[in-house]
Amino acid sequence: MSQSKTKPRDLLKDSDLPVLDWWDHGTNDVAAWETVGLRALREVSWCCPDCGLQFLKRVIDMVTMPECPDCEPKRRAAWNAEYERYKATPVADVPELLVAWADDADPRTVFVAGSGPLRRFRCPQGHAPRLSPHTYLQSGCPSCRGQDTRIERLLAAEFEPAAFGLGAEIASQWHPVKNGVVKLAAVSPRSRKARWWQDPNCGHEWEETPAQRDKGQRLRCPVCRTILDSLAHHFPELAAEWASANPVSAWHVRPTGQTPFVPSWVCAANPEHVWQVSLASRTAGSGCPECREHGKSQVELDHHAAAERVFGNAASGQSLRHDAFTRRAAWLVDISVDLAHGQKLVIEYDGSYWHADKGDLDLEKSRDLLAAGHLVVRLREHPLPALPICEPGYTEFVVYSTAPDPDGTIARVKQWALGHVTPGSQ
């Protein structure tokens, strides 16, 4: 009789993952405990070890990222509160920033968070990056991080062939001293004997078995809660554009993973370009929508340039999201301008050829944007008919492809917009 070659299941109870502390033994039956796997899609009961809240959630979701529905919003609120506090905190009041400050501006007049130009810092290794103060405070010197990643990859290339299949990223974290005479080449990835590891990025050290390291959450560092195979590890050039305003770092997300928020990005070529798009979109090759001219007509580019001159700020190709949208989750708009009182102006250029049969779509898009509280101006090329919209925050201007006047048109748009800004708008 031939022996079964069925691979044994990775059971949650055998994983030694921290999420085991969340298991609700009082509610879940013994059979669930004995049989549930790490990738199970079934909902079971969990109990938050911090606040004691009992809740239902899928096993695979808790294995990937254990979160309490009560504690997690509070944690994010605390992060947002801290960010708001930093928006009113000058660099001079933060010792970690002040010691690295190498900018010509007075650190007493520059705030840690919020919008503003990039600033010059000097790290202990002599690198002089230009970053926002909040980014430097959260992530440190990008040159040092990149150097650590390059060293890590060199170490991984050296270690991996002799490590019996231990992942390159894990192999690169083998502690150079605390494992004594034990060599990485002699360690099996299935070993259940605890070994010492060290993250070259943060310097944290810990003991864990190789088998545990490649299971469940697959943490890169258990203290920082960073993860293996992260965006920062595989795509350092994209991680450099990961906005510091995101609630987690690029070391906490995987290249094509799902996030409960839409990530923000800051263009490496022009830090004033900030946009939101999913991880999957970035790793699939999408770049800064304002730097990307492909797919935009010259007349649209000319009107965007005019909007920058007339308003002083204007974004091109920005993706807008809002709970009030009912037709789509997000709309890509031609030109957007941030006005006073937090209100946004959207300018859409409707070419007569491309929009001849898109009246219904233009109508739906406009109504969604208006429902979100934005001011909407459509530049409709002659002879396109007007859209049947009669709302205070909406207007149209007829433009002519044979006689374009971007500066004059945008000046008229500004005059109209300033008369329709609503104090207190969001």
**Tens of pLDDT along 273-313?**
788 888 888 887 777 776 665 556 778 888 999 999 999 88
Average pLDDT, rounded, for the chain: 84
For 222, residues 6+ apart whose C-beta sits below 8 A from its C-beta are 18, 204, 206, 208
Q: Is the pLDDT of residue 162 over 60?
A: no
C-alpha distances in angstroms, 264 versus 273, 335, 348, 384? 10, 18, 23, 36
**CB environment 367-384: b (16+ within 10 A), e (fewer):** bbbbebebbbbbbbbeeb
Domain ranges of the chain: 12-68, 72-140, 143-228, 229-284, 298-418
CA distance 385 to 80: 46
For the chain, the straight-line distance linking the first and the last C-alpha, in angstroms and rounded, comes to 72
**Greater pLDDT, 79 or 293:** 79
**Greater pLDDT, 207 or 297:** 207
- Specify the CATH class of 298-418 in words: alpha beta
Edge-to-edge strand order for the sheet containing 315-321?
Answer: 315-321, 330-338, 344-350, 375-381, 394-399
Amino acid residing at 374: H
Could you tell me the pTM of the whole model? 0.43
Report, as an integer, the average pLDDT of 20-38: 89
Q: What is the pLDDT of residues 88-131, one digit of tens each?
A: 999 999 988 998 999 888 999 999 988 788 888 988 888 888 88
Q: What is the pLDDT of residues 407-418, one digit of tens each?
A: 999 999 999 998
Q: Is the pLDDT of residue 425 over 60?
A: no
CB distance 378 to 366 below 8 Å: yes
Structure tokens, 44: 């079971």
pLDDT at 423: 62
CB distance 13 to 33 below 8 Å: yes
- Location of structure tokens 């989750």: 329
CB distance 308 to 290 below 8 Å: no
pLDDT at 148: 57
